[in-house]
Amino acid sequence: MKRGVVWAFALWVCVGGGISMADSGAVARIGVSGEVLELSHQVDGRTVVDTLPLHRAGAIRYFSAGVGLEERAAEYPPFSLKVVFTAGGKPYLSGVSVTIQLAKGGAVLTVPQDQVEGPWLFVDLPAGDYDVTATHRDNKQGLKGVKVEAGKQKIIHLRWAEDRGIAGGLADE
């Protein structure tokens, strides 16, 4: 009897869609135009698609995300660098300008603060060693020698002591 109930439940789940792993998390994909990320998630049993701007500087693509539960739970394209911004008592920070340059010199990418609308910045960089500097309200944080490897995602965190400002300089992590 128990075995029959288990099989009936399994059939109901598979055929009837009683439980769906897709319902539990959002998925972000690059849109057909290549200019947006389409974030698909479930709201009241229906699929909703929100868009996030996908920026480009030469061959490098980047986008900002992490606002709200859907964005924080989403699965994103495997961009090689993810930068997470935090400050003081706030778990997340936005409105940060970012400069990424090759560790041996030369600017690769400058992201203005109006393009960092969320606390996460995803950047599709080629493999190499980079210096990352971020500025929030005239206070800088950064990391030198960030190693980005092909086929892997490097996650770094840049933290400010407080949102209202800190004393000087770049932080090494």
Q: What is the pLDDT of residues 28-56, one digit of tens each?
A: 999 999 999 999 988 888 999 999 999 99
**Residue 100's CATH number:** 2.60.40.10
**Average of pLDDT values for 114-134?**
96
Q: By mean pLDDT, which of 52-66, 115-129, 152-166 is the weakest?
A: 152-166
Query: If you average pLDDT over each of 6-10, 20-24, 107-111, 149-153, which comes out highest?
Result: 149-153
Residue 66 lies in a domain: yes
If one compares 142 and 166, the residue with the highest pLDDT of the two is 142
Residues 8-17 have a mean pLDDT of 32
> Which secondary structure element, helix H or strand E, spans residue 61, and what is its range?
strand 60-65
Number of domains, the chain: 1
| Band of pLDDT at residue 20, cut at 50, 70 and 90 | very low
Residue at 14 is within a domain: no
Per-residue pLDDT, 108 = 87
Residue 110 half-sphere exposure toward CB, CA atoms < 13 A: 4
**What sign does the CA torsion over 137, 143, 149, 155 have?**
negative
pTM of this prediction? Answer: 0.78
Higher pLDDT, 164 or 112: 112
Q: What angle do CA 11, 14, 17 make, to 5 degrees?
A: 115
State the average pLDDT over residues 137-152: 95
| Domain-embedded: residue 144 | yes
Query: In which domain, by residue range, is 48 found?
Result: 22-160
Q: Is 128 within a domain?
A: yes
